[in-house]
Structure 1
């Protein structure tokens, strides 16, 4: 009886998670459309660009996942294409590919990258919080709880800086905000995962943490350099 109850509960969790993913997609598209209406950008072309960036990012994220989990796919050329049996993408390379495509699109269409990024800021932030929350419903974990807490703390810090302390300059740095929001929680959560590599004699970083750390450092350095340049 207990096993049947747990099985039913697991099925309910998966059902709620599926609804949550659908709800997240609807919320993301609505916020994206609302932000897009506030600009002079062509809606149809932007939707096409969003679709192209998503497909390109999924392909790159999947390739990176296959390379980083080579032992899982070795010996069978078909396994990388079996998404049901071997699901997974590497989130860092997904976002990297997404914004590279987005940057190239903006350069070709002569649209400012900051303008493009502002369109995505609120939708991506909201979608990441919702997906993290629904993932906890599907399967509770300490890492997932830390992820959700860190996302909410970052949102709270942003609201305090921009509304209470009146730091309006942050609103003009949407790409930096997205990098911190998309990368820093993953960097923190990875400390709860296994398979760390030794770094300077200590079991400090995992392989997946290295690109996150590099991106955070580069984004911070660029922000500081820009601040000094603006003061001059």
Structure 2
């Protein structure tokens, strides 16, 4: 069984289903990317994995444990970390206070060690640690948001559009850091509008269309697929 296995997910926010028999799996230390056109259900699939969407059908397991009935808070205790696209920092709190909030549920004495790891991963976060997070640039705020999620010591880190609204240079830097996180053994599940760049770093890619799996393959295989290139990557 895969480390994360979300299979046959079917459901939505009201009466109509947005996801239709959608399945997502991620192995340990793997980067899995969900791409597709606007309205394809990408973020909805991510929220379903995190327990923010009631499923009519489907099962979600992590590390062999069935967590389908668990709340998002309970899934954090099971090893999930989630970074939403917006409203993902506390803007009136300092950077360091934001990171401390990420460790709020922890009971161990190694919080300072994890914070140092975040600072090593994101030197700009260390430099700005005493500033209010709301004063930072868009890219720096995203680093703080990812850092706060890492403070929970997740086994699976989920990122919803982490490069939205940042420059190409900052996007490349964020992707480099995401690769470093995966190399440490943490699994990554990421939704991205910048499909081509995301698939370049992906071990596995999912192309969703209208809430269904349209294509599933390695990132490179999807980049090389002429149908995927023509339809979703601009040729």
TM-score above 0.5: no
- State the TM-score, normalizing by the size of structure 1: 0.30
Q: Higher strand fraction: Structure 1 or Structure 2? A: 2
Q: Which structure has the greater CA radius of gyration?
A: 1
- State the TM-score, normalizing by the size of structure 2: 0.30
